[in-house]
Amino acid sequence: MLGGYMGKILEVDLTSRKTTITEIDPELAKLFIGGKGYGAKILWDRVPAKTPPLSPDNLLILMTGPLTGTLAPSSGRFSVITKSPETGIFTDGHVGGYFGQKLKTAGFDGIIINGASEEPVYLHIKDESCEILDASNLWCKTVFEVDEILKKKYPKSSCGVIGPAGEKLVKFACISFDIGRQAGRCGPGAVMGSKNLKAIVVEPGDKRPSYAHPDRFKKLVKDLNRSLHTHPNRIKRHVLGTLVCIWEGIDGGTLPIKNYSGIAWPQIISLVPEKLWEENIWAGTTTCYACPVACTKLSVLKSGEYKGKKLEAPEYEPVAVFGPNCLIDSYEWVTYAHILCNDLGIDAISAGNAAGFAMECYEKGLIKPEIDLKFGNGKALIEFIKLIAYREGIGDLFANGVRIAADEIGKNSKRYAIHVKGLELPGVDPRASYGMALAFATADRGGCHQRVWVARAELYGKLKRFSTEGRAEFVKYNQDERAACFSTDLCDFMPFSEEDFANLLTYCTGLEFTPEEYVHAGERIWNLTRMLAVREGISRKDDTLAPRCMEEPIPAGPAKGQYISQETLDTMLNEYYNLREWDRNGIPTEKKLKELKLECKDI
Amino acid sequence: MLGGYMGKILEVDLTSRKTTITEIDPELAKLFIGGKGYGAKILWDRVPAKTPPLSPDNLLILMTGPLTGTLAPSSGRFSVITKSPETGIFTDGHVGGYFGQKLKTAGFDGIIINGASEEPVYLHIKDESCEILDASNLWCKTVFEVDEILKKKYPKSSCGVIGPAGEKLVKFACISFDIGRQAGRCGPGAVMGSKNLKAIVVEPGDKRPSYAHPDRFKKLVKDLNRSLHTHPNRIKRHVLGTLVCIWEGIDGGTLPIKNYSGIAWPQIISLVPEKLWEENIWAGTTTCYACPVACTKLSVLKSGEYKGKKLEAPEYEPVAVFGPNCLIDSYEWVTYAHILCNDLGIDAISAGNAAGFAMECYEKGLIKPEIDLKFGNGKALIEFIKLIAYREGIGDLFANGVRIAADEIGKNSKRYAIHVKGLELPGVDPRASYGMALAFATADRGGCHQRVWVARAELYGKLKRFSTEGRAEFVKYNQDERAACFSTDLCDFMPFSEEDFANLLTYCTGLEFTPEEYVHAGERIWNLTRMLAVREGISRKDDTLAPRCMEEPIPAGPAKGQYISQETLDTMLNEYYNLREWDRNGIPTEKKLKELKLECKDI
């Protein structure tokens, strides 16, 4: 038996209401590690190309990594893998909090959910078993309401819950775990909704992962924790949380402003993290399982339905997309919007991006919504989010994401729909960062910030700014390395080296990983997720950005005058495909797949 | 008549009690601009080599620049130039607040104070005239006490005041202007004390500088103000003040920790700027004259003699030298120490550096003070500052600065006395920044941070870290450019280009400056201040660092393992002298001086 893994995956067929338990395959564990990689492999094997994402045949996969629930720092995380209803391709979300760790103590490395129930149900997981229970009394309720009900019944549990948005199949509906930790992007909440599955409850048990080399593992963990203590990244993230990126965005000119148009907006000064304290919104700092960083901010709002409640928020991404992107210069509104998204079960990033897009369409006279959606209107933003979650009025149009909304609106609105492969861009203007432009264009789940954060390397001079130099190499290497990290499912904020990760894996599982093998596993996983896209028809033509990003120079700020021309993008893409040993069309070559031991015969 | 300048310098001879008015020399204005440059030229011409700094023959010179008191942003500043009792060479301090602007409205570009009074006096300056008045009732009082008395008498005035430290000739006594703005470093307060001059009061008048090209000047100012509005540096400094450098220090590993030994110190998390808000010490933000940045923080302490008063503090440098350098992990203590220094009239940077040195000597058993001077003891730090200010007990030893204290203590304590040319280093460990090491070693007033701040260029990748590459060029160029900036006396935090400065000067004064001429004037000034040191015996042997910096590798953090070896320093110095066209011994060549139109014949 391998260390780290519990060895068991729970399989739930909601159509037949049967649950079974399958075993972790040690060979796959070596090749795909766990989390993202293992989940992608299951998706490849069991969800054929062209399967409609909201059909019962799609799988919703929750996979921990071998390091989840171990003594390693910040080891509470797990992955949510499915075929996205928003992008039509593979997606993986990585979730902090406590759910992942508890799942392991209940005896499972993962959960594979298949089929669809006719009536609303929820899963109750405890001690290596699972009940499928009636959720009709939970349906139509918000995340916070459902979590409260379930917590009363199962006080020590962690719950993953969908809100009204998931029920209404909003294409960017999320799953909220532990209330404030989201499998956010690409609509896994809609997949869960399509299966009539309202919640997954896991109660902690007495199972614990074993270690292949317990002494070496514990010593390494001790050393890593000690080094974290004074590490600048830990200190910054502990104090400022992800909001540290607000400062980096101001510095680099990378914040999205007014739907990624990039005008001068001095009001950004109202959204620097220190205003949280100054305005008495900050209410403490909290942490995921076993995390010495504790980056999560707690806030208490002064008005609205969450008034007076201490809740997890805000994070950088929602602040960026609701704040400068919608020209809303108040932490009260922005935090409200963020919390509302968590409660209604919407991905806050896509919601903020869609709001900026809707505001631009409104101000340009392309849509006639029932609310006064002008830039800067916090009240309208809140209403807009609610309309989306319940698919009412103008919300129904934007509930399918900006790509489809732009198709329906027509009139050149496509120009202002800022997405890649259907996934709304997060809080970085790619024109201000050549590296992020390439990272967005090639990210395996569409316009995603979590694969490589090149903006920091550019800001701190590791890469020359406003240049294609070194971008392909940096993006390729880090996509691979991060894919491996997301498969161990340690938090990606841990500033550990490849050697640290390889040693953690080796000492924990007993599978031998060198640093090179660790990154090589990541490359295998990245090629697999690419193939999951390729078999849906994705190729070079899709590795691109919105017209605004490629044609309109930034009008102000530290990145003034910059844009990503087709030529610039092509230069980077050619080099990137070359390094990846993919063909000129962005398709992995047979040679490459063979070298990576990927058998993708059914293409 | 030139624009910008009032044309008049007030000369006060305290020995004869005579005041005269001399005129600004337009030729010198073109060559030396004003502020630092003009003051250095006066010092060169009128204070011969070997003049004892605390003798009546030394001059205390207060000089504005041509941009002081104009419409240009942050134009309240002026320079205090004298021969330092701490280093024995030229020093210039640059002071914000309102004093400089008011001096111009009273009709003067500067004040030259000569001789010494037999009894305590103060100057009262108003409407192109000056009275020398009795200050016997002010003597022995602290800065805040004196300022309060003078403000009652002259409500609209700005006052420059010395505290007990200046009276007691503490070698790093400062002059406090507007209470919170200091001519801090190198002991100008002791020079003032040696002249029995307790205060300088200036009442605002109705004089205003004229402009040679008013329309062009006003348009440029408007453009600069607009660009400042969204400039990242303005936003950062407005929100975090100089405390932004705490974050940069954590990031770069450049903070001085435990008397520049550099141990791992996780408690630094208590001194990140956000704790000011979290701990309710922050009480607002204030500004110098006409400044769109407004970087000054206001604090209210919870205990001690300043309890409940809203005062200007803390700034980065005092936090660095009292905080990590003394292992004191509380904003309450550190801010207390900072305010106390302002009130007693001590330079906070030298005080904090000396405290760290004293603590190390104490813990190593080299001194036996009457207080428990162990690292981390905030109460002892406060007592230590008071003992220095009044030259009592152990304070008398350290009141002469760490260089002389180390000579007296002996026993290898020199190793831990962290100064250059007698001036205590500020809050940067030079081992963590090759550029700062060179900047400190060559700064014209000794170990000073204000000449070039290379640490940021290294942190943001403009210079490769831990390398000598490009350091000489960077330091040389910026020393020159900043010397010119300090002579215009606009605030050195304004992120303006050489072209902006040259145009501001040209449009204001009518003297034509190209960007190259502006920097060239700075080079002239830098060579003049070097010659002011050279004629006191300074040469290459003095362009060096403390043994700790050159022999002990940093034991922890982002710059772990780094130190500045003699070889590293020599490499940079050789290149630096070469670029400066100085000889191998660090002496400006005759050819260079001639080219710069510097007549320094009496060497």
pLDDT tens readout for residues B50-96: 999 999 999 999 999 999 999 999 999 999 999 999 999 999 999 99
Determine whether the interchain pair A230/B264 forms a contact, defined as Cβ–Cβ distance below 8 Å. Answer: yes
Nearest to B460 among A269, A273, A460 (CB): A460
Nearest to B274 among A250, A264, A274 (CB): A274
- Number of C-beta neighbours around residue B156 at 10 A: 10
CA neighbor of B209 nearest in space, from B3, B46, B402: B3
Bin A527: left if φ > 0, else alpha if -120 < ψ < 50, else beta.
alpha
Token duo for residue A273: 């993290």
Beta bridge partners of B20: B11
Determine whether the interchain pair A460/B462 forms a contact, defined as Cβ–Cβ distance below 8 Å. Answer: no
Determine whether the interchain pair A278/B278 forms a contact, defined as Cβ–Cβ distance below 8 Å. Answer: no
Give contacts of A284 with chain B, Cβ < 8 Å.
none
Q: What is the largest CA-CA distance in chain A?
A: 66
Task: Chain B: give the shortest CA distance to residue A567, in Å.
Answer: 27
Give contacts of A253 with chain B, Cβ < 8 Å.
232
- CB neighbours of B485 closer than 8 A, spacing ≥ 6? B492, B501, B522
Q: Which of A274, A282, A469 to mutate to test the interface with B (most CBs of B within 10 A)?
A: A274
CA dihedral sign of residues A273, A275, A279, A280: positive
Nearest to A238 among B269, B273, B459 (CB): B269
Determine whether the interchain pair A235/B272 forms a contact, defined as Cβ–Cβ distance below 8 Å. Answer: yes
Q: Classify B600 as helix, strand or coil.
A: coil
Mean pLDDT score of chain A: 97
Q: Compute the count of residue pairs across chains A and B with CB atoms less than 8 Å apart.
A: 66
Q: For position B603, what pLDDT does the model report?
A: 46
Q: For position B1, what pLDDT does the model report?
A: 77
Its ipTM equals: 0.93
Residue count (chain A): 603
What's at A168, amino acid-wise? K
Determine if the peptide bond prior to B314 is cis (ω within 30°): yes
- Residue B112 CA to residue B10 CA, distance in Å, equals 6
Taking 70 as the pLDDT cut, the residues of chain B under it are 600-603
What's at A143, amino acid-wise? V
Task: Chain B: give the shortest CA distance to residue A172, in Å.
Answer: 33
Q: Report the residue of chain A nearest B274, measured CA to CA.
A: A274
Rounded average pLDDT over A164-180: 98
Q: Report the residue of chain A nearest B251, measured CA to CA.
A: A232
CA neighbor of B203 nearest in space, from B141, B259, B159: B159
**Higher per-residue confidence, A600 vs A139:** A139
Determine whether the interchain pair B462/A461 forms a contact, defined as Cβ–Cβ distance below 8 Å. Answer: yes
Helical packing angle, B471-488 and B515-534, nearest 10°: 100
- CB neighbours of A399 closer than 8 A, spacing ≥ 6? A165, A168, A170, A171, A172, A388, A391
Instruction: Please tell me the number of Cα atoms within 13 Å of A177 on its side-chain side.
Output: 28
- Residue B73 CA to residue B222 CA, distance in Å, equals 9
Token duo for residue B562: 């780094």
CA dihedral sign of residues A144, A150, A155, A161: negative
The rounded Cα B137 to chain-centroid distance in angstroms is 29
Give contacts of B238 with chain A, Cβ < 8 Å.
269
What domains lie within chain B, and their CATH numbers? Answer: 8-202 (3.60.9.10), 257-417 (1.10.569.10), 431-595 (1.10.599.10)
DSSP A410: -
- Residue B592 CA to residue B603 CA, distance in Å, equals 15
SS (H, E, C) A25-88: CHHHHHHHCCHHHHHHHHHHHHCCCCCCCCCCCCCEEEEECCCCCCCCCCCCCEEEEEECCCCC
pLDDT at A277 over 70: yes
Task: Chain A: give the shortest CA distance to residue B233, in Å.
Answer: 8
- Residue A184 CA to residue A170 CA, distance in Å, equals 12
Task: Chain A: give the shortest CA distance to residue B467, in Å.
Answer: 15
Q: For position A315, what pLDDT does the model report?
A: 97
Give contacts of B556 with chain A, Cβ < 8 Å.
230
Give contacts of B460 with chain A, Cβ < 8 Å.
459-461
- Number of C-beta neighbours around residue B28 at 10 A: 15
Residue A185 vs residues A88, A140, A446, B267: alpha-carbon distances, Å = 13, 21, 10, 37
Nearest to B460 among A266, A268, A461 (CB): A461
CA neighbor of B505 nearest in space, from B493, B492, B491, B489: B489
Residue A226 vs residues A221, A292, A296, A330: alpha-carbon distances, Å = 9, 10, 21, 38
Nearest to B230 among A266, A273, A282 (CB): A266
DSSP A503: H
Q: For position A603, what pLDDT does the model report?
A: 46
- Interface list for chain B against chain A, based on CB atoms closer than 8 Å: 229-230, 232, 235-236, 238-240, 247, 250-251, 253, 264-266, 268-269, 272-274, 277-278, 282, 459-462, 556-558
Q: Classify B379 as helix, strand or coil.
A: helix
Host H or E run for residue B159: strand B158-161
Task: Chain A: give the shortest CA distance to residue B578, in Å.
Answer: 28
Token duo for residue B298: 């206001």
Q: For position A600, what pLDDT does the model report?
A: 66
Concatenated DSSP letters for A260-318?
A: TT----GGGGGGSTHHHHHTT-EEEEE--TT-SS--EEEEE-SSSTTTT-EEE---HHH
pLDDT at A222 over 60: yes
Give residue-wise pLDDT tens across range B349-374.
999 999 999 999 999 999 999 999 99
pLDDT at A601 over 80: no
Q: Report the residue of chain B nearest A232, measured CA to CA.
A: B251
Task: Chain A: give the shortest CA distance to residue B311, in Å.
Answer: 18
Q: For position A510, what pLDDT does the model report?
A: 97
Give contacts of A272 with chain B, Cβ < 8 Å.
235, 239
Bin B78: left if φ > 0, else alpha if -120 < ψ < 50, else beta.
beta
- Residue A83 CA to residue A61 CA, distance in Å, equals 10
Host H or E run for residue B520: helix B515-534
Task: Chain B: give the shortest CA distance to residue A69, in Å.
Answer: 26
pLDDT at A287 over 60: yes
Rounded average pLDDT over A81-90: 98
- Residue A564 CA to residue A569 CA, distance in Å, equals 6
Helical packing angle, A378-389 and A331-344, nearest 10°: 10
Rounded average pLDDT over A367-392: 98
Give contacts of B558 with chain A, Cβ < 8 Å.
232
Residue A153 buriedness (CB in 10 A; 0-12 / 13-18 / 19+): exposed
Q: For position B241, what pLDDT does the model report?
A: 97
Q: For position B600, what pLDDT does the model report?
A: 66
The rounded Cα B595 to chain-centroid distance in angstroms is 29
Q: For position A599, what pLDDT does the model report?
A: 78
Split at pLDDT 50, 70, 90, the class of A153 is very high
Token duo for residue A506: 């080796």
